[in-house]
Structure 1
């Protein structure tokens, strides 16, 4: 869970010009605006505009006021800066208010529960927090960043950009990846790490997760196991955080072990074989050749081609256990492959599969 920072404190819906403080100051000194104009050399009109917030209080003016009022110039300058900042915030708030409806697409409740957003009844403040979470300045920038072709989809529909729920899940993964220290990426080391990872398929999550995270980190890949966002049907994703740091994210959605490991190696295939400029998102079937290539990589990593000839004759529990042991993978992974190839029915030998129970986000 993210740590709350209380960044989003209450902001007034009005701005107080430094002229208000100036008027109070000269009142206490028993000086009116006309006399102040004479003492500073400014025109009465200029002073009136400053006092009413219609003209800026410049640094030159602040030094003149310092000599007359004994209030340091830096205080007048700070009051002016705070006033201008608050005016800008009020203008920005008006602009943000036009995009409030977009929040309905974002799972803000989930983000609040996970500690990424602070609970508030102010929708504009909530929108500001949400944009900061995505590290963009506006909804328009969000659409440009998340919908303009940087994603390769393994998808079941012809979507042109990420659903907000999927984007939210991916952003959580990115934030987690940013906090993971890794070595500079080495394709050779990562390829070796992937081969070694296959031997972990017979272990439980409590055993293999810390080993996987370290194995991948040592080769430049941040492995993130991220709980699902309700309604966000995503299996996994792969992308480059920087030229020397990659990220693989896997959704913790009560996965059976065959799906988990296939997803992991599918994403590893993207990191090893595809462009660093794309983000690869796995949400189902795709005819994209890059996705099929990643599928093939996962299949052949889990069950090398040398064993494919034996698959058609592997139909009993005993045969599955024997071949899985020979390959060095969990029997459930082999069952999943046999079901996919229609060698087994989807109702057969499912007890050999293992449903992972995740705790504390993996």
Structure 2
């Protein structure tokens, strides 16, 4: 948003255009009755315009231009500014009674992440948050995020803190809107996943922009959004429109094995499940139907990262518990060793305390 728009002068009081009309009539020593006669309008209408009770319509503005020589554009603009000022005053009063709603939203961390501006005035802060969510009022926020987002509400994380989860999800939408994506192509997306898999051995400053670029070319926007307090979400998948999918990732567990598994898990949802499905990954129990889909995505991620035949060969070897053996196996199949460690720990082959130094720890810049 430009400074010119941000710094617009918004006076506390704007006089009705009727006051200007009354001044012009006094200067010209013309009565309201004479003006009404010349315009062909009832005297009552002219009186109500002067008192601000009736609006100056475009038709009336043209008539005033003919009779008084003052351009219709002047009257139309004067009327517009006056009505806008009235609307702002009414909104100010209404929002002032709703500032307590901000307690449901993680305003402070959103400011720290620079998602929104910090405003000293509570009402202005409320406006800033509503602008972020692109809704007109707290009631509309409730309808959009807490009533219509049925799939979101199935998540225990959403139920525990809908304000934080909604803010995290909305930030994903905002960032995804800035990614120019080609139309979604399932076959090309499958091929792209192999290219992404090869990036697991790269540093974050290399893999992050490459993942975003590669996936955008096949219709999938990938965004990395820091989790807000109490969100407890690893990732989310949804369709922004029939030709653009969104994969949103956090660094909830802050290691490369979790990040990459989350990415390919979400990719599995895109390839295996419907475009109306929405998935919030919070590792909490789901209904049976959703559990099946989550397991399908888990299997997809596990198999694409480590092909089943290669995994079985490694498990049958004597190297599965040694760091050197893990490094060698990871190098052979072209993935980061931390991913192998995470799989071994998940499958109970390694204790969760072993070989964690092979994982790459990730932090937000």
Which range, TM-score by smaller chain?
0.7 to 0.9
- Matching of residue 353 in structure 1 with residue 359 in structure 2: yes
The alignment's TM-score, normalised by the length of structure 1, stands at: 0.87
- Aligned counterpart, 2:213: 214
**Cα distance in structure 1, aligned partners of 2:117 and 2:179:** 24
Q: Which structure's residues are more often helix, by fraction?
A: 2
Mean CA deviation greater in 265-274 or 22-31: 22-31
- Aligned counterpart, 1:311: 315
Q: Is the 8 A contact 1:178 1:241 kept in 2?
A: no
**Cα distance in structure 1, aligned partners of 2:131 and 2:344:** 46
The alignment's TM-score, normalised by the length of structure 2, stands at: 0.86
- Aligned counterpart, 2:130: 131
1:99 deviates by: 2.9
SS of 1:247's partner is strand
Q: Is the 8 A contact 2:265 2:300 kept in 1?
A: yes
Q: With a CA cutoff of 8 Å and minimum separation of 6, indicate the structure with the bigger relative contact order.
A: 1
**Cα distance in structure 2, aligned partners of 1:152 and 1:333:** 29
**Cα distance in structure 1, aligned partners of 2:201 and 2:194:** 14
Q: Describe how 1:1-362 pairs up with structure 2 within 5 A.
A: 6-7=5-6, 9=8, 11-37=10-36, 39-147=38-146, 148-151=148-151, 155=155, 157=156, 159-160=158-159, 163-252=162-251, 255-287=254-286, 288-289=290-291, 290-309=293-312, 310-311=314-315, 314-359=320-365
Q: Is the 8 A contact 1:165 1:232 kept in 2?
A: yes
1:150 deviates by: 4.2
Count of paired positions: 357
What is the root-mean-square deviation in Å for CA atoms of aligned residues?
2.8
Query: Residues 159 and 232 of structure 1: is their aligned pair in 2 closer, same or farther, counting only changes over 3 Å?
Result: closer
**Cα distance in structure 2, aligned partners of 1:349 and 1:108:** 39
Q: Is the 8 A contact 1:152 1:278 kept in 2?
A: no
* Unaligned stretches of 5+ residues in structure 1: none
1:57 deviates by: 2.3
Alignment deviations for residues 143-200 of structure 1 (CA, whole Å, 9 cap, x no partner): 2222334435895x37558622222122112111111122211111111111222222
**Cα distance in structure 1, aligned partners of 2:324 and 2:72:** 87
SS of 2:250's partner is strand
